[in-house]
Every structure is written in structure tokens, then in C-alpha cells.
Amino acid sequence: MTPRPQLIVTLTSRSLDGARAELAEAASAGADLAEIRWDRWEPRERPRVPELFPAPLPLLLTIRSRAEGGEGPDDPAERDRLRRSIALSGWAALDLEAGRDALPSVGGTVGAPTLWLSTHLPPEASEADLDRELQRPVPPGMVRKIVVPGSLGAGLETGLSRARQAARAGVTLLTTGPAGPLERAWAQRLGLPYVFAAPPERRPTDAGRRVEAAQLPVDRLHRFYTQDPAAPLFAVMGRPVYHSWSPWIHHHWMDADRRPGLYLALEPGSADEFVGVLPRLAGGGFRGVNVTAPFKGAAREAATQPGPTVEAAGCANTLTFEGDRIRADNTDLIAVRRRLGELRDSSVWNGERLGVVGTGGSARSAVVAGRDLGARVAVWGRRPEAADRLARELGVERWSPGRSSAHPLVIHATPVGRGGPAGGLPVREMLAPSGHLLDFVYAATDRSLRDAAAAREATYESGLRLLLYQAAASYQIWWGAPPAPGLLSSTLREVEPCEA
């Protein structure tokens, strides 16, 4: 079996106490080293860095310059003064920037830190720039690290093929950006000697603490690297996608059910890039992917075997790779049907009329689910022509301000709530007094929709339950069984406080 990469956890804390807590977590999660990003520490905390010793893990000291994506100085003289202010005894490794740091003499001293020579190339860097860095002479005993940004298109092909070549030459070529999570998932087969990881994420909101979005939690990577090499890969794909709670949810369930695997968040730059990368994922150990906006229509077009839910809704949000075939399902439709049935059975909704705000993939699923349950459905969209087209295609009404009645249940199915306020959405007019507003958005950063419901003395429900229901349906497709009994409800109780 190929040796697993050494896992280096980049600590996110900006203070001594926070770093100590993250160090303890990283050590228990299987990390091999921890990177102290001293450039990110609060100025008043920096003199306290020696208090980290003795540490539960070997420590790598990094002062990343602003020019290379950090918060430290660019001026070589200022960088040298900062390094000299830190006693280097006890440090396992010291990161130097090839473009602005002189090599100190400590590298040859017994007990001195191992020297890393790093370069972070900018997005506009060319193949020639990368070749120049790969050919840069490196003194014996030093670790050479080059970091390049990579897309899921051309960047993926170039970056990962060069990473394998670089690893054979003893150089660690790491990828950031959209291709970064894939490189970490495939690190073992690429032969990478090192992978930089994030601290463990105990809550789905912890993903926001990563120093770099492409990093993955160390506990997930350690478990994946030490599992059967055939352990499956999964992902959620969308744009934007790094806010998604799906990786945390699926890992939570896989851990509880003792299932091996790794679930990523991948962000294609376009629908063409999304479709183009699917064969690479299918051939690279992926069992399936969830798809979110704006690629649900492209997911349906990419499928070779659309299921009944896709035929009904006209879009897909779950793809499963089966040899050369791509099976498509719409677990949004399954989730909305389930939730509407619960609302009707609990008398929150009488099942007669339903309003839907939006015309995208989630809205289509909501319209079809309500129609299938026998409700009279009306849809509204910002672009009247899109709403007209959707209403005609699915055989429902188009809702018009001032001319259509309010509804006892309204489903909001646009990105509003996470990407900005709900100005221009007629939610308040569509929602009947004392009605119920079901939002597809979970963990909303804007309260406009919640306030609109309150103004109508109506109840508001976030999209968290819908998220879990569609995740459970995807999980069952991929594993052949739903999450263990009681796991879905316990997960809901666990993550509800994260929306606060």
C-alpha cells in the first residue's frame, strides 16, 4: 500500500490559548505536524508563541507574506527581523519563502529546525513560472514546497499531473482553489509526501475557520488515508459551495454507520466545467455527487440514466456513477414531498393551495411536489417570462401581485437569504395571515424572509429539514440503506443551534 502523506494541520487561531486547544484536537485526530501561522497571530499575542512548548505535535513556523496570500510583511529585511525575534529552539521546521527570504545557517546545525523552501504562485502564473520554480536549486536536507491555484478544468489536469511528477523528484506541489480538495483526496495515489489540513470540524459552521477553503479536516483525511484504498469518494458541487453543510452531515452519518469514505465540496467555474469533470470523478473513485445551484439543469443533461424523479422535475441534484453510466435522481423532490406530507398531516397546512417563489431547480421540485399532492400551485419569478414558461410546462398558475390570492403555505426557493436581502420578493403578499413559510435556504445570513413571515403573524421554517431529508435520500441511493434509525432526528437536534 502506498504510504500515506504526512498530515500538517494549519492552525486557525490567532492567539496562544486558541492554538493550544487546536493543537490538542489535531494531535488526537491523527496529525503529524502543526503549522503555526505566526503572520496571522494578533500582535499582542505574538511574543507568547514560545509558550506553546512543550507541544503535543512537532511545530512548523510560518510567516506568510501578503504577496503570497498571508498577513505578514513582504520586505525581506522586516521578515528577517521577525524571525530573529523568535527563538528557533524547539521548532521542528521553519518555512521560508523562496522569493524573499535568505537561507539562514541554522539548517546544518544539530537540533535545528528542518528548513522548508516555499513558493505560492499567483493565479496569473504561467507554465513557465511553474517550471522555473520546479528547477530552482534546493540545498540538501530542505523540503521544497510549491503551491499553485487550480480550477476543476484545465487547472485540474495540469496541476495534478505535475504534482505526481514533482513528487517523484521530491518536491511537494500543492493545489489550492477549486482543484485543492481533489488533490487532497487523491494525494495518496499522487504520491504526495505532505498534505496541509484544517483542524477537526465539530460543527458544520466550523468550515468557516479554515485558513484556505481547499483544506479538509485532518480527522477526515486521516481516517480516509488509513482506510481500504477502495473507499468511495463523494462531493457536493455548486457555485458557491464552500458554505454547504452537506460534507459535515454525510461524514457524521458515515462515522455513525462505520462506513468508509470522504465527502468533498467542489466548485466548478461553469456548467461546461461541471459536465467536463464528471468523467474524471467517475474514474477517480467517486461513487456519486450532490448538485446544487446553478448546475441542476446541467446535471440532468449530463445523465445517461435519468430516474423518475428527474423526469418529473426536469432537473437533477444527485448523480451516481455506475461504470460508464451516470444515474440521475432528484432528492430535492423526495425531500419536499416528505415535508409537505408532514405539514399536511400535522394540520400546519390544509393541502389545498401552495405558493412557490422562484423558477430554478429547487422551485421546480417544490412545484411538482405540491402538484403531486393535489394542491393548487402558483409560482412567481423575478423574470415573468421564466415564471410563465415554468407554469405552462408544469401545468400550474403564475402568481401575480395584486391579482392573485395569498396562500396558507409558501415555499421560498431562491438564493435570497444567503446572498442578500429579500427586496423585490413578494413573499409577504403571497403568504396568508397565520400561514407557514418554508424556506429552502438554511443558516440564512439575512432575516428578511423571517421578518416577512412575522409581519403576517405566520410561522417560518428554514431549509435545514429539507437539507437533511434530501441528504438522507442521497445517502440511501449511494449506500443502499438510509442512515441508522434515529440518526436523522438526532442530527437535526444537533445542528439546529448552528443556525442561531
**498 CB-near residues (< 8 Å, 6+ apart):** 203, 204, 205, 245, 443
Q: C-alpha grid cell for residue 50?
A: 514560545
User: Residue 182 domain-assigned?
Assistant: yes
CATH assignment at residue 295: 3.40.50.10860
182 and 264 share one domain: no
Task: Check residue 88 and give its pLDDT.
Answer: 84
Write the single-letter amino acid at 236. Answer: V
145 and 211 share one domain: yes
74 and 162 share one domain: yes
Q: Look-up: residue for cell 403571497?
A: 430
Task: Check residue 403 and give its pLDDT.
Answer: 82
Q: How far apart are CA 67 and CA 64, in angstroms?
A: 8
Q: C-alpha grid cell for residue 274?
A: 461541471
Please give the full DSSP string across 141-160, using - where no structure is assigned: TPEEEEEEE--SSHHHHHHH
Expressed as residue numbers, the domain containing 354 is 333-462
Q: Which of 184, 223, 296, 407 is catalytic?
A: 296
159 and 173 share one domain: yes
User: Residue 247 domain-assigned?
Assistant: no
Specify whether 145 is catalytic.
Answer: no
Q: C-alpha grid cell for residue 104?
A: 539562514
User: Residue 449 domain-assigned?
Assistant: yes
22 and 73 share one domain: yes
Phi-psi category of 97—alpha, beta or left, where left has phi over 0 and alpha has psi -120 to 50? beta
Cis omega (within 30 of 0) for bond into 137:
no
Task: Check residue 209 and give its pLDDT.
Answer: 85
Task: Check residue 104 and give its pLDDT.
Answer: 72
13 and 55 share one domain: yes
146 in Cβ contact with 176 (< 8 Å): no
Q: How far apart are CA 399 and CA 382, in angstroms?
A: 11
- What are the mean pLDDT values of the chain's consecutive 10-residue runs (500 residues total)? 88 96 97 97 93 96 96 95 88 95 67 90 91 89 93 82 88 93 94 96 92 94 90 96 96 96 97 96 96 95 96 95 96 98 97 96 96 96 95 95 91 86 84 97 92 96 98 98 94 93
Q: How far apart are CA 443 and CA 246, in angstroms?
A: 13
User: Residue 240 domain-assigned?
Assistant: no
Q: Sheet harboring 171-176: ordered strands across?
A: 171-176, 143-149, 114-120, 93-97, 59-62, 33-37, 6-10, 194-197
pTM: 0.94
Task: Check residue 420 and give its pLDDT.
Answer: 63
User: Residue 301 domain-assigned?
Assistant: yes
Task: Check residue 110 and give its pLDDT.
Answer: 54
- Into how many domains does the chain fold? 3
311 and 419 share one domain: no
Task: Check residue 109 and give its pLDDT.
Answer: 59
Q: How far apart are CA 307 and CA 224, in angstroms?
A: 31
29 and 175 share one domain: yes
CATH assignment at residue 356: 3.40.50.720
222 and 284 share one domain: no
CATH assignment at residue 94: 3.20.20.70
* Final residue before a domain boundary, out of 209, 226, 243: 226
282 and 356 share one domain: no
35 and 112 share one domain: yes
151 and 222 share one domain: yes
User: Residue 245 domain-assigned?
Assistant: no
Write the single-letter amino acid at 486. Answer: G
Pairing status of strand 6-10 against strand 194-197: parallel
User: Residue 242 domain-assigned?
Assistant: no
**362 CB-near residues (< 8 Å, 6+ apart):** 293, 296, 332, 413, 440
Q: Look-up: residue for cell 392573485?
A: 404
Q: What is the Rg, in whole angstroms, of the alpha carbon atoms belonging to the chain?
A: 25
Contacts 24+ apart (CB under 8 A), 250-254: 250/471, 250/475, 251/220, 252/491, 252/494, 253/471, 253/475, 253/483, 253/484, 253/487, 253/491
User: Residue 187 domain-assigned?
Assistant: yes
Task: Check residue 154 and give its pLDDT.
Answer: 78
Neighbours of 311 (CB within 10 A): 12
Contacts 24+ apart (CB under 8 A), 415-421: 415/293, 415/441, 416/441, 416/446, 416/448, 416/449, 417/441, 417/444, 417/445, 417/446, 417/448, 417/449, 418/243, 418/443, 418/444, 418/445, 418/446, 420/446, 421/446, 421/448
